[in-house]
Structure 1
Amino acid sequence: MGDERLTFDGWIAAVGTCSGTRVVVGHWPLSPFGPFSDVMLERADGWRTLIAPSARTADYIAGVYHFDEVRTAPVGVRIHGGTWDVTAGPLDLDFRVGRQGALGLALRAVPRPLARRPLWAAVTDVPARLMAGVRTRGSSRHGCRQWYAAGGLWPITSVRAFFEATDLGALAPVVPPVRFGFASAPASPALVRVLSTVERSTR
C-alpha cells in the first residue's frame, strides 16, 4: 500500500456560453485507461455533470473531482483542421481554435521530462494564477494531489453547443469559474495541450 501516481497526456478545452453553461472537454490519447475523452459541464445554476465513456473512467474521475451528477455515455472527439467536434451523450459541441499567441509558443518550449516534475508545477503555479487565474498544482480531495504542465495554448474563437437539444448560445467567457476541483479554467475560452499527473494515497 502506498501512493498511486497516474499521468494523462492530451488536451483540455474550456468554453463558456451565453446561457451561462460552461463546458470542459478532456481528450486523452495517452492515459492509464487507454485513449478516452470526457466532458465536465456546469450549468448557470451551479449543477455539475460529468459524462465519461465507461464506469471505470467515470469512477476514477468522480473520485478526483466534484460533481452533482455522473453519467456514462459514449464520448467522441473528431479533429479536422482547427475544428473540434465533440459528442457526449446529450451534448453536441463543436468549436474552432485560432492561432497560438506568444504564451502558447513559450509553453511549447518546455521539455516534456521537466513538465512531469512536481517542482516545475510549483515554479509555474504563481505565474499561472497571475496571468490566467488558474493553478498548476493542488488538491481536490483528501489524499489526492495533482499537478499540470501546459505544452501549448490556442484561443477558442467560436462554439456551437446543444445540451439535451437546447441551444446553449454563442461563445462567452468561462465565468464564473467552474468548480470541479482546485483548478479552474482560464476565463478566456482556450484549448490547452496538457500533461496532467494525479497522485492518490492507497493507504
Structure 2
Amino acid sequence: MSRAGRTRHRFAGRIAGVGSTSGVRVVVGHWPVSPLGAFTDVMVAEADGTRVLLAPDARVADFVARTYDFDRVVVGPVTAQVDDRGWHVEGPELSLRLDVGRRTALGRLLRLVPRRLATAPGWSALTDPVARVVLRGVRTRGSAGNGRREFYGATDLHAVVGLDGSWRGTALGGLAPVAPEPGFGFGSTPERPSVTAVTTTVEVPDSAP
C-alpha cells in the first residue's frame, strides 16, 4: 500500500518478549502473514547490552535491520512452534521454551476493540499516549530511524509464566522482567513478560534503498 511517497508494509502475528535472570532479554516475532511470507525472527539483547538479530534469510535480515537497531545480524534457520499454551523457538545458538498463561486484564480490553479499528495506524497514534503510561517500555507509534515509521496495533495480550532455554551454550535461567529496555527501537516490548497479538505497519519512504 502506498501513500504520499511512502509504502506501507503490514505484518500480522504475535510478539513474545521475555527477560531472564541471566540478563539476556529476548523478543520473538512470529509472523504468519507478511509481505516477506511467513517467518519468525528473534531479537536478543545480551547482558552487556549487545543487540543481536537472528533472521531466517537475507530478505528478512535486511528489512528488520533497516527498521530496528542491532550490533550484529546472524542469518540462519529460525523456527517456532506456537500455540496458546507455549512457544518452542530454535535459532542460531538459541533454544527457547515459553509457557503462556492467561489473558491479562488489558488483553480482555484489547479484544473489545473491533479488529479493523485496532490495527489501523490512526488508532495506534491515538493510543500511544495511553500505552506509555499503562505499559512501561511500550509505544504504539514511532521510529527507529532510517526514515521509517512504525505503528503497532495490539489485539490481545497474554502473560508469559515460564521460561527455559539457552543462548550461546549458556542457560538463560529463570523468567525475569524485560529490563533494562533492550533498545532495539522506539518501544520493543512490555516490561512484563508477555505475548502480544499485533499487526505492525511499517512505512518506508519510496526513495529508501
When normalised by structure 1's length, the TM-score is 0.97
Report how many residues are paired: 203
Partner residue in 1 for 2:113: 110
Say which SS state the counterpart of residue 186 (structure 2) adopts: coil
Partner residue in 1 for 2:139: 135
Give the Cα separation in 2 of the matches to 1:108 and 1:94: 26
Match of 2:23 among 20, 23, 28: 20
* TM-superposed deviation, 1:80: 4.5
Match of 1:11 among 11, 14, 19: 14
* TM-superposed deviation, 1:116: 3.1
Match of 1:41 among 40, 44, 52: 44
**AA in 2 matched with 1:129:** R
Give the Cα separation in 1 of the matches to 2:143 and 2:104: 30
Say which SS state the counterpart of residue 59 (structure 2) adopts: helix
* TM-superposed deviation, 1:81: 4.9
Say which SS state the counterpart of residue 98 (structure 1) adopts: strand
Partner residue in 1 for 2:198: 194
**Cα shift readout 1:46-70 (whole Å, capped 9, x = no counterpart):** 1000000000000000010000000
Match of 1:72 among 44, 55, 75: 75
Alignment of 1:133-172 (within 5 A): 133=136, 134-172=138-176
**Cα shift readout 1:131-155 (whole Å, capped 9, x = no counterpart):** 1021000111131100001110000
Greater CA deviation, 134-143 or 57-66? 134-143
Identity %: 47
When normalised by structure 2's length, the TM-score is 0.94
Q: Quote the RMSD (CA, aligned, Å).
A: 1.2
2:6–2:205 contact (8 Å) kept in structure 1: yes
Say which SS state the counterpart of residue 87 (structure 2) adopts: strand
**Gaps in structure 1 of 5+ consecutive residues:** none
2:66–2:146 contact (8 Å) kept in structure 1: no
* TM-superposed deviation, 1:123: 1.2
Runs of 4+ in structure 1 deviating by more than 3 angstroms, as ranges, are: none
Give the Cα separation in 2 of the matches to 1:84 and 1:153: 15
**AA in 1 matched with 2:127:** T
Seen in structure 2, the aligned counterparts of structure 1 residues 81 and 128 have a Cα distance that, compared at 3 Å, is closer
**Gaps in structure 2 of 5+ consecutive residues:** none
Q: Does 1:97 align with 2:96?
A: no
